[in-house]
Structure 1
Amino acid sequence: MTSRTTEQATPTDPADDLWAGIEDLWAWVDANRPLDGREGMLLRMLKLSEEVGEVAEAVIGATGQNPRKGVTHTWDDVQAELCDVVITALVALRTLTPDTRQVFSDHLARVRERSRGPHSPKS
C-alpha cells in the first residue's frame, strides 16, 4: 500500500486567476501576431465576431434547427463557445489597455447601476 500525502491548496481568488489567464493569453497572442499596428488590432477585434458566430452555430446545432444536419451540438458546446466569447473579448480589451481589470470593473459597475434603474430594489 502506498502512502500519499495531500498538500493543502492555497486558496486563490478566482478573479485573480481570470485576470492572470487573460494576461497570459494576451501575451501569447501578442507575441505570435502575424500583423502589427492598427491592422493587427482591428483583426483581433474581428476575432470576437468569429467567436459569436460559433455560439450561434452551437445553439442552432443544440436545438437541431438545421433539418439537413439535425442535432450536432450540446448545451455544453454552447457553454464552451460562450466562454470563448468572454475570453476573446477580454483579450481584445487587454489589447486596448493594460488596465483591463479596472476598465472592466468600472464598466460593470456602471452597467449594473444602469440596469437596476431608479425603480429596482438594490441588493
Structure 2
Amino acid sequence: MTDSWQTVARLADHLEDHSTLPRAQRVLLQLLKIQEEAGEVAEAVIGAMGQNPRKGHSHTWQDVEAEVCDVIVTGMVALTRMNPDAPAVFARHLERIAARDLHEAEAATQ
C-alpha cells in the first residue's frame, strides 16, 4: 500500500511541477478530473454492453476495469494535492466507513 501512495505522490508532484495556475485552481481542476474519468467509466460500460447504437460493442470489461482504476488513481492524486497527509486521511476515512457499514452488516445477520 505504501508503494501505491509513493507513486501517487510522485504523480501529484509531477502535475504540480508542470502547472502555473494558482494552487486553488490546480486542486479544483484535479477534482473535476475525477468526474471526467467517471464519465469514461460510463462510456466503457455502455460500450461493453453494446448499448450505443452507433458503436455497438466498443469496449471490453477489461476496459471498464482500467477506467475504474483511472478514477481511483485520479481520486488519490486529488486527495494528495489537497493534503500531503493523504494516506492517513484516506486510512482514517476507510476505517470510519468499515466501522459503520460492516457493523451494520454484522448486526443484520444476528
Task: Check whether TM > 0.5.
Answer: yes
Counterpart AA for 1:91 = V
1:67 equivalent in alignment to 2:53: yes
Structure 1 residue 117, shift from structure 2 partner = 3.3
The size of the alignment, in residue pairs, is 107
Structure 1 residue 118, shift from structure 2 partner = 4.2
1:98 equivalent in alignment to 2:98: no
Could you list the structure 1 runs, at least 4 aligned residues long, displaced by more than 6 angstroms after superposition.
none
Indicate the RMSD between aligned Cα atoms, in angstroms.
1.3
Structure 1 residue 98, shift from structure 2 partner = 0.7
1:115 equivalent in alignment to 2:101: yes
Larger Rg: 1
- Given the two structures, how large is their TM-score scaled by the length of structure 2? 0.91
Cα distance change, pair 67–29 in 1 and its aligned pair in 2 (3 A): same
Structure 1 residue 37, shift from structure 2 partner = 2.5
Alignment partner, residue 84 of structure 1: 70
Alignment partner, residue 27 of structure 1: 13
Counterpart AA for 1:103 = V
Q: Which of the pair has the greater relative contact order for Cα pairs under 8 Å at 6+ separation?
A: 2
Stretches of structure 2 that go unaligned for 5 or more consecutive residues are none
- For residues 105 and 32 of structure 2, the distance between their equivalents in structure 1, rounded to whole angstroms, comes to 37
- For residues 111 and 21 of structure 1, the distance between their equivalents in structure 2, rounded to whole angstroms, comes to 25
Alignment partner, residue 7 of structure 1: none
Structure 1 residue 61, shift from structure 2 partner = 0.5
